[in-house]
Structure 1
């Protein structure tokens, strides 16, 4: 009698099996994942801007630390800053089954709702920049979309860290080599650093975001449906691999 783990076995060499499974997961429920991730981000921004405009209490200005003074304004870091909105969808896009997709979405929702609740009851903002960032390409649009409010914790950092930890576990589950794992870590670090280098957040915002994102990521890895890799893949992505 075969077990779920037996279903993962394929004639592919170990060096390519992980990439085959990766692409199989991408193709699994591709349209549903694409639409769902887009809708999730859209709904988040609706809540984000509502809270930004309707805080329950006066806004607290976040203090500037020595680290903030040490990190200079770097306009080029706007690019990694904006990549968050692609990066955040990768773990959901690689979910091996519909059930895992829903569970990941629920944990991501819990993270975002917690962050928005903090913004509502403890509204914060970053200090005004001592220069006109709007004169740099892209920053005028960014200031109109990502206002200096809703500062602490940085949801940019929280979501990036949550994504990095979930993606690290996913890559480990499929037996990926070291370079995708390293790329994942560097991408997350670049996004976190970009929040300081673009002066969208201060160091305390980023630190709080790391704490929030790590907390929910670890909870999501501990409390999730059984068979995240073998059982789920056996029912989903591995079926695609076997047909190759």
Structure 2
């Protein structure tokens, strides 16, 4: 009988990066949506509880020469506010349950760490000498955001944490360099906005970057060990 040589195995074509992201977005979306909303609700409850009841009187953070290099800009407010959409992107594009749960655990740990600092060692930013009534959106933030949450900037730490997780996801789906650069630039813009809105000073931002790296890097290494092919 004639023999037939074995046909070579051909791997199925890899989906385009944007289709991979669409598939990831659809996976577990009810859990992601409910989890993100629940996380933010619990975070704000803890955040304002700590700020209203600090353990000691807040210490004023010093303003450095570098702070004067970044002028106040009311136009920075939309960038500042964009964090709450930005931080929801990593869980939205995580493609399986285990890394999703670990993402939630690590970012929760980072938030609890910062809230603990705000409670034990509260800090505030110096007066900017600005008439906030001329900037209603920023005035609303100033009215509800009690002194005590300056250093480290959790806004900055969350941005850095988010940027590194999104970079890992982008590499996983082989997203184009332009998208990855866009992610880095948005993170940098949010960092800038924290100073340009006078919500923070440079020292707060530096401390926030350190905290973000301190939690993001080990979290990604941990997930790479626990679920190496799932992120």
* TM-score where L is the length of structure 2: 0.91
Distance 1:65 1:20, change over 3 A: same
Moved more, 212-221 or 136-145: 136-145
* Displacement after TM superposition at 1:229 (Å): 5.8
Counterpart pick for 2:13 among 11, 26, 47: 11
* Displacement after TM superposition at 1:134 (Å): 3.1
Give per-residue Cα distances to partners, 1:131-178, cap 9 Å, x unaligned.
112321411222233334310000000000000011111111111110
Distance 1:24 1:154 in 2: 34
SS of the residue 2:148 aligns to: coil
- CA-atom RMSD in angstroms: 1.7
Contact 1:174/1:229 (CA < 8 Å) preserved in 2?
A: no
User: Paired residue for 1:129?
Assistant: 128
Moved more, 143-152 or 193-202: 143-152
* Displacement after TM superposition at 1:191 (Å): 0.3
User: How many residue pairs end up in the alignment?
Assistant: 222
Distance 1:175 1:76 in 2: 33
Give per-residue Cα distances to partners, 1:107-131, cap 9 Å, x unaligned.
0001001000111110101112211
User: Paired residue for 1:159?
Assistant: 158
Distance 1:166 1:88 in 2: 10
User: Paired residue for 1:213?
Assistant: 212
Whichever of the two has the greater Rg, that structure is 2
Distance 1:21 1:47 in 2: 35
Give per-residue Cα distances to partners, 1:14-71, cap 9 Å, x unaligned.
xx62111111000111121011111111111111111101111221000011111221
* TM-score where L is the length of structure 1: 0.86
Moved more, 49-58 or 83-92: 49-58
Contact 1:173/1:229 (CA < 8 Å) preserved in 2?
A: no
In structure 2, stretches of 5+ residues that fail to align are: 1-8
Distance 1:176 1:227 in 2: 23
Give yes or no for the alignment of 1:144 onto 2:143.
yes
Distance 1:128 1:46 in 2: 26
User: Paired residue for 2:167?
Assistant: 168
